[in-house]
Each structure stands twice: as C-alpha cells, then as structure tokens.
Amino acid sequence: AQSVTQLGSHVSVSEGALVLLRCNYSSSVPPYLFWYVQYPNQGLQLLLKYTTGATLVKGINGFEAEFKKSETSFHLTKPSAHMSDAAEYFCAVSGYTGGGNKLTFGTGTQLKVEL
C-alpha cells in the first residue's frame, strides 16, 4: 500500500522568497511520485514527476523536487515565489496492485504568496 503525507496545510511566503512544500511517502515498492498544482475552480496540472534515475527533478514554472529515499521525502521547492504561484499543491504516489495505476494523493498544501 502507498500513502503520502503533506506537512502543512497552509504555507505563506513573500513574493521572491523560497517556496518549500513538504511531502513524505510510504510505499512497499519503489515509489513513483508526482506533484500536481490546482488553481481555483480548475483541475489538476502536473508540475513534475519522479520515476527512476536522477533524484533531482525539474518541472514547469521553475519548480523542482528532490527524491530522498533515506528520508522517504519528495519536497517541492522554487527559489523565488511569484504571485501567480498561489494555488493548492498535491503530492501523489502511484500504486500498481492487481492492475491499474491509481494515484494516492496527500491532503494538499495551500500556498499563499504575499507582496
């Protein structure tokens, strides 16, 4: 079974400051991990994903995440926040049991960017 824990349901940063959104996972098999962003009244958009290989993954809009097996973490970062980054962010792990590849999501982190 797979699960994801996102620490901090709300994060507030100043424009230009570092963004750090935390995600820890639990998986009985090598994990495949995803970060999605959801803007108000919209569906989910993929930011980045980790499958195998390089542990530092770069995504869209300047975001990146580092897979750390020893810490079972996949934290999302962006060096400099922009007002347009304000949204809800979801970490997810992909499971594959008995066919199918469902995503198991965390409860999300609402990012607020202040002037």
Q: Which residues bind another protein (CB under 8 A)?
A: 32, 34, 36, 41-46, 49, 51-52, 90, 92, 94-108
- The nearest distance, CB 102 to another protein, in angstroms, is 4
- The nearest distance, CB 96 to another protein, in angstroms, is 5
Please say which residue, 16 or 39, places its beta carbon nearer to another protein: 39
**Is 110 in contact with 20 (CB distance < 8 Å)?**
no
Please say which residue, 61 or 80, places its beta carbon nearer to another protein: 61
Query: Nearest-CA neighbor of 55 among 30, 92, 21, 36?
Result: 30
Please say which residue, 15 or 105, places its beta carbon nearer to another protein: 105
- The nearest distance, CB 93 to another protein, in angstroms, is 9
Q: N- to C-terminal Cα distance for the chain?
A: 41
In angstroms, rounded to a whole number, what is the distance separating the alpha carbons of residues 95 and 84? Answer: 31
Please say which residue, 79 or 112, places its beta carbon nearer to another protein: 112
In angstroms, rounded to a whole number, what is the distance separating the alpha carbons of residues 58 and 43? Answer: 21
- The nearest distance, CB 114 to another protein, in angstroms, is 21
Phi, psi of 62 (to 5 degrees): 80, 5
